[in-house]
Amino acid sequence: MEKNKKIQILQDIIKIDSVNDKETEVAEYLQNLLAEYAIDSELIEYAPNRSSIVAVLEGSRPGKTLGISGHLDVVAAGDEDEWTYPPFAAEIVDGKLYGRGATDMKSGLAALVIAMIEMKENNVDFAGKIKLLGTVGEEVGMYGSKQLVDEGYADDLDGLIIGEPSSIKQIIYAHKGSIQYEIISTGRSAHSSMPELGIDALQQMVDYINISNPKYQALEDSAEHPALGRTINVNTVINGGDQINSVPAKVVLKANARIIPQADNDQFVAAINESLEEVNKSIEGKVELNMLQNNPPVESAQNNDLVESIRKAAGKDIKSISMAGATDASNFGRIDKDFDLAIFGPGELERSHIVDEYVEIDDYLNFIDIYRASYTDYLSH
Ligand SMILES: [Zn+2]
């Protein structure tokens, strides 16, 4: 494919403002693009205007299935006046393409898809198949990858590249899970001169924190993963009370736990529930859990075959590391099979979600070549 067309494709999909919505427009764009090269695809609707896309390119003989995945959504642009270049204009200045999603991760998505197309265009001989899994809603809820896994689209994966921004310097083979949740304490308001008529939701929350902290600490101390470290919990936001002379009737605590496989999501949720049970025994009001997101950790071998194929294509010194952040790999990791994982894509993680997000055009184009060479090597037998 010509260089200008590769750049145009990235500009076109950045111009679609798929902020936690409208992924169907991106999916349809990719569907039309793939159709130009006679590659069939299927849109999988999650909600109106929100469709994931799956496309398969078959090799000449049986072999492994290599999944290639990117999310179609982006995070909000924030205050557009703060941007030097408008977030959905995809302007190119000094070799940099600016826009929301330029790094996270429409450049990775476009590069994965174009490399797939070039396998066909160049008649590259390979075994097995390349399966595109473009997902909705990764940034909030990871709905698309969950749906694709639940509906069996990921069952046959032997390897999976997720094109999230890692930079060319490193490949991620494992990451922690993440649990985002709220604790809601409900009491009853009363005038603070007569507190005995109320139920103090704030005091209930203090009780919860005091009871739960040692339980989370025990889980943290129970296991340490050599690369991922420990399961940790951080209480991050607290809101409650109405005014200075009223007993607070409602307090909400938000928290985020980061999870390793050896002290896993189920154990952590059990610790929350035990804490709540204990608190609820001794209070008049109630304290409850509202689960927002529950994504497991994912792990493959540090130097798995896919990592090695990428190293052959991109440089033998590339480190393979773990990270704390979560991706769609959390959901894909739930399939009943071990697979080779490589989270590897253009752009730098630090440039995600910020004002004036950009990707270097050369970096983007380079990744297309690296992906194509990696597909070819991984699927050579
Ligand atoms: Zn992302």
**SS3 readout for 243-274:** CCCECCCEEEEEEEEEEECCECHHHHHHHHHH
For every one of its 381 residues, what pLDDT tens digit does the chain have, with 9 covering 90 and above? 999 999 999 999 999 999 999 999 999 999 999 999 999 999 999 999 999 999 999 999 999 999 999 999 999 999 999 999 999 999 999 999 999 999 999 999 999 999 999 999 999 999 999 999 999 999 888 899 999 999 999 999 999 999 999 999 999 999 999 999 999 999 999 999 999 999 999 999 999 999 999 999 999 999 999 889 999 999 999 999 999 999 999 999 999 999 999 999 999 999 999 999 999 999 999 999 999 989 999 999 999 999 999 999 999 899 999 988 889 999 999 898 899 999 999 998 888 888 999 999 999 999 999 999 999 999 997
- Ligand 1 center to residue 265 CA distance, Å? 22
SS (H, E, C) 281-335: HCCCCEEEEEEEEEECCEECCCCCHHHHHHHHHHCCCCEEEEECCCCCHHHHCCC
CATH number of 3-176+297-378: 3.40.630.10
pLDDT of residue 325: 80
- Are 126 and 374 in contact by the 8 Å Cβ rule? The answer is no
**Catalytic positions, written as ranges:** 73, 138
> How many angstroms from the chain centroid is the CA of residue 264?
18
pLDDT of residue 202: 98
- Ligand 1 center to residue 106 CA distance, Å? 9
- Ligand 1 center to residue 185 CA distance, Å? 33
Tokens of residue 153, six digits? 């689209």
Neighbours of 337 (CB within 10 A): 10
Domain spans of the chain?
3-176+297-378, 177-295
- Ligand 1 center to residue 57 CA distance, Å? 24
- Are 46 and 136 in contact by the 8 Å Cβ rule? The answer is yes
pLDDT of residue 323: 86
- Are 253 and 183 in contact by the 8 Å Cβ rule? The answer is yes
The Cα 352–Cα 108 span in angstroms is 12
Assess whether the region 3-176+297-378 and the region 177-295 belong to the same CATH fold.
no
CA torsion, ordered 304, 309, 310, 315, to nearest 10 deg: 110
State the residue for tokens 């009871």: 211
Q: What fold characterizes domain 177-295?
A: Alpha-Beta Plaits (3.30.70)
- CB under 5 Å of ion ligand 1: residues: 104-105, 164
pLDDT of residue 130: 98
